[in-house]
Amino acid sequence: MQLKDYQNVAVRKLLTRSKELLIQGGNKKVIFKAPTGSGKTIMTAEFLKQLINDREIKEPLSFIWTAPRKLHTQSKEKLEKYYEDTRALECSNFEDLTDKLINENEILFLNWESINKKDKNTIVKENEKEFYLSKIVENTKEDGREIILIIDESHHHATSEISQDLISDIAPRLTIEVSATPIISSPDEIVSVPLEDVKLEGMIKKSVILNQNFKNVLSGDSLKTTLADGTDAMVLEEGIKKRAEIAKAYKDAGIDINPLLLIQLPDRKTQAEDQVKNDVERILKDKYGMTTENGRLAIYLSEEKENLNNIAKNNHETEVLIFKQAIALGWDCPRAQVLVLFRDWKSLAFSVQTVGRIMRMPEPDNGHYKQEILNHGFVFTNLADIEIREDVARNYVTIYTSKRIENYQPIKLESVYRLRQREKTRLSPKFLNIFLDEAVRYDLEKKIETKGQKIELSLISDYEADGVDKLTNAEIKGEAKINTENETDLQKLYDFFVKNNLSPFYPEDRSIGRMKEAIYYFFRMRFDMEYTNRFTEIINIVLSSKNSQHFCNVIDIAKEKYITETQKREDELKETADWELPEILNYGGNFTEFKVKFSALKPFYYDNKWKTEESFIKFLEKSSQIEWWFKNGDRDATFFALPYVENNERKPFYVDFIVKYKNGKIGLFDTKSGNTIKDAREKSDGLQEYLKKHKNLIGGIVTNTNSKDFSGRWVFYKGRGDSLYPDDFSNWELLEI
């Protein structure tokens, strides 16, 4: 699994902070706050792997991983898969601890319910066999190891009295509380993953849209929606229509994904709830032909489970799933894209946890799609009482929708945007070809010796370590016994060699694998040696004293070439020949409606961030010469951008406003005020260069001569950037609209 950039950053922060706290001594606590869908479990798994391999950590460590309900089982399965190749840590259940202790680099997985002291269950209850939790902890510490406690989904239980007693009994050297919405109580450190970073990497959807095409009004935390007047059948119909629309978009794009509609029932077990379920099943069968018998409907309730095998598979035939709130925790099905909630919930506090089941992207390695509908989740509900309390949910959940005016005529602007590159911190498959090319230029084939090569201890005599088991990340004693015929020892030595030669790239497993693959491929191409049956021979050749420096030289040259090429790609901008205003834009709870006449998208929503923009909008609204204006955004290909150069790098410039005049001309204006004017010199040059190349366009940097209350003249700049000054408007032109 290839970690994303933000994941590597988070792992590094966790590692640095944890090491600092471990060195300080005492019982410390770290909050790890990461959004739903960001890969919390995988980041934590990578952090633990790097922690045990870190040379600065002297004491041996054991781990306890706790989670609510059955989430600990899912976490154990994920970690076992993650450690499948490296065997970095051992994952165990309570009954697996045959030595009555947690071994070094072993993780004990427990769920909170099983260690609730009030229930006096077998795990915590003292017994004659001395096989209970507190004794296990005691034995582990007596064996010379510190315990690190991971509390997954900590907001569910970590603050309860029972939980606090348990943490006190375990007395871990370090506690890591993991949650999207932690209930923070005096932590020593907080490591956070920004929601925006997760969205930018395409791991989660851009937003979740609430009751699309129905008017929503947010007042404080309370949300009113016109769909509250609709019946359950009407809400269900909206959900099914949206699922069908998404399915068509996937099909038209040639993507083999069958989107899933979720119908979530409340936990309460009442007769009314049973009736809702029965009504839903009847409508699905009679109106849409969806039943459990034909596989189009699945049910995931404690008392009834149907068609759940492989339901998370992207092209699974099931279209609708009925489930309950309790099952939502930890349940992972990225093709789920529409959520329906009925009125019998009574009230709902909308949070990122609520929409967590439809936040994930089904193909995170591919990121977001060109078809915008596929990049959003959708919630339909006829609840009359909805609250949106969390700041994160307020920004992420789309409450308002704005649509392009019907009489809009295409403008076909040339636009640019930057494709997100992920190759600057790790090696991509491109490294393989670069390495092979540089090996040919270096004449590596002729410079190395292949006959009778053996790893010599002199190669590692400068290192210190406890033995071969520590080779992957630790230093090595010259006296260490190395069996050059033993594949396990050789693999560790080879990993160590590659890792030492990776800098400045982050030494994550995928990058290590890329470099190893390049070397294997060299032997296959030049010597017809397959590593699968001649592994021992190949590694002895690479790491022998006569050859290792030659491989280091080629690796260094290849890395330099790779960095140059990826940097060049980073500078490249993708071009769009005929950009148009977006048909729909979605806005969160931090936006409010701004009453205007000439906005190209209606209603117009604004976040009230910039007084200059707001004043310019009021100026545009007084015009009798314009047909419409559009407040541009500042991300990806959705919005308009033109190229400009800053520090010898081409960048996209997202101008603030696009204005369509009644005479057919189009204006491109970017509002600035005060000192921000001189910061726009390069952008101004880029804008003027763009305007020269395209007929029928006018525009420039625009400002008001009175930056205090915007009561002065509106002027715009068409000159050279180096003559642009914040307090001198003598070379600006009056903007007449």
Please tell me the predicted confidence (pLDDT) of residue 422.
Answer: 55
Tell me how far apart the alpha carbons of residues 477 and 474 are, in angstroms, rounded to a whole number. Answer: 10
Which residues, including other chains, have CB under 8 Å from residue 311's CB and lie 6 or more apart?
260, 298, 318, 321, 333
Please tell me the predicted confidence (pLDDT) of residue 474.
Answer: 40
Please tell me the predicted confidence (pLDDT) of residue 425.
Answer: 64
The answer, yes or no, to whether residue 429 has pLDDT greater than 90, is: no
Quote the tokens at residue 149. Answer: 């406690």
The answer, yes or no, to whether residue 554 has pLDDT greater than 70, is: yes
Tell me how far apart the alpha carbons of residues 378 and 607 are, in angstroms, rounded to a whole number. Answer: 22
Burial bucket for residue 534 (CB in 10 Å: 0-12, 13-18, 19+): middle
CB 240 within 8 A of CB 261: yes
Q: What percent of the chain clears pLDDT 90, i.e. is strictly above it?
A: 50
Q: Supply the DSSP symbol for 599.
A: B
Tell me how far apart the alpha carbons of residues 382 and 389 are, in angstroms, rounded to a whole number. Answer: 19
Which CATH number describes the domain made up of 202-401? 3.40.50
Kindly state the average pLDDT of the residues 83-88: 85
Which residues, including other chains, have CB under 8 Å from residue 319's CB and lie 6 or more apart?
243, 247, 258, 259, 260, 261, 290, 296, 297
Going by C-alpha positions, the residue among 269, 260, 265, 240 that lies closest to residue 343 is 265
Angle at CA 669, nearest 5°, toward 667 and 672? 165
Kindly state the average pLDDT of the residues 668-679: 90
Maximum mean pLDDT: which of 178-187, 228-237, 421-430 = 228-237
Q: Is 207 helix (H, G, I), strand (E, B) or coil?
A: strand
Query: Among 280-294, 419-433, 513-527, 534-548, which stretch is predicted with the lowest mean pLDDT?
Result: 419-433
Query: Among 148-162, 514-528, 566-580, which stretch is predicted with the lowest mean pLDDT?
Result: 148-162
The number of helix segments (H) and strand segments (E) in the chain equals 18, 33
Please tell me the predicted confidence (pLDDT) of residue 483.
Answer: 54
Please state, in angstroms and as integers, the Cα–Cα distance from residue 513 to each residue in 44, 136, 160, 596, 629, following that order. Answer: 21, 38, 44, 57, 52
Going by C-alpha positions, the residue among 406, 392, 384 that lies closest to residue 356 is 392
Phi and psi, residue 25, nearest 5°: 85, 175
Longest dimension (CA), the chain: 93
- Which H helix or E strand runs over 272? helix 271-288
Please tell me the predicted confidence (pLDDT) of residue 463.
Answer: 39
Give the mean pLDDT of the chain: 86
**Burial letters 229-264, b for 16+ CB under 10 A, else e:** ebebeebbbbbbebbeebbebbeeeebebbbbbbbb
Which residues, including other chains, have CB under 8 Å from residue 600's CB and lie 6 or more apart?
404, 405, 408, 581, 628, 629, 630, 658, 660
**pTM (2 decimals)?**
0.72
The more confidently predicted of residues 389 and 261 is 261
Kindly state the average pLDDT of the residues 331-336: 85
DSSP string over 53-104: H-TT--S-EEEEEEESTTHHHHHHHHHHHHTTTT--SEEE-GGG-TTSSPPT
The answer, yes or no, to whether residue 667 has pLDDT greater than 70, is: yes
Please tell me the predicted confidence (pLDDT) of residue 566.
Answer: 75
List, by residue range, all CATH 3.40.50.300 domains of the chain: 5-199
- What is the separation, in whole angstroms, between the first and last Cα of the chain? 55
DSSP string over 132-190: SHHHHHHHHHHTT-EEEEEEETGGGTTTSHHHHHHHHHH--SEEEEEESS----S-SEE
The answer, yes or no, to whether residue 467 has pLDDT greater than 70, is: no
Kindly state the average pLDDT of the residues 574-586: 93
The model's pLDDT over 341-354, given as tens digits with 9 standing for 90+, comes to 987 766 677 776 67
Does the bond joining 266 to the residue before it have cis omega, within 30 degrees of 0?
Answer: no
The model's pLDDT over 602-632, given as tens digits with 9 standing for 90+, comes to 999 998 778 999 999 999 999 999 999 999 9
The model's pLDDT over 62-85, given as tens digits with 9 standing for 90+, comes to 999 998 877 888 889 999 998 987
Tell me how far apart the alpha carbons of residues 618 and 595 are, in angstroms, rounded to a whole number. Answer: 10
Kindly state the average pLDDT of the residues 406-411: 95
Residue 32 pLDDT class (50, 70, 90 cuts):
very high
Instruction: Give the CATH number of domain 413-418+575-734; options: 3.40.1350, 1.20.58, 1.10.3720, 3.40.50.
Output: 3.40.1350
The more confidently predicted of residues 271 and 528 is 528
Kindly state the average pLDDT of the residues 50-63: 89
Kindly state the average pLDDT of the residues 180-188: 79
CA dihedral angle for residue 65, residue 66, residue 69, residue 72, rounded to 10 degrees: 0
The answer, yes or no, to whether residue 292 has pLDDT greater than 70, is: yes
The model's pLDDT over 194-239, given as tens digits with 9 standing for 90+, comes to 988 899 888 999 999 999 989 888 888 888 899 988 899 999 999 9
Question: Which residue is listed with tokens 């009004």?
Answer: 217
Q: Is 214 helix (H, G, I), strand (E, B) or coil?
A: coil
Quote the tokens at residue 129. Answer: 């066999």
Burial bucket for residue 643 (CB in 10 Å: 0-12, 13-18, 19+): middle
Pairing of strands 90-92, 106-111: parallel
258 alpha-carbon distance from chain centroid:
22
- Which H helix or E strand runs over 286? helix 271-288
Q: For the chain, what's the residue count? A: 737
DSSP string over 353-417: TTTGGG-B-S-TTT-S-SSGGGGEEEEEE--S-EEE--HHHHHHEEEEEEEE-TT-----EEEEE
Q: What percent of the chain clears pLDDT 70, i.e. is strictly above it?
A: 88
What is the 3-class SS of 680-733, one letter each residue? Answer: HHHHHHHHHHHHHHCCCEEEEEEEECCCCCCCCCEEEECCCHHHCCCCCCCCCE
Which CATH number describes the domain made up of 5-199? 3.40.50.300
Pairing of strands 222-225, 216-219: antiparallel
Q: At what angle do helices 5-24 and 40-53 cross, to 10 degrees?
A: 50
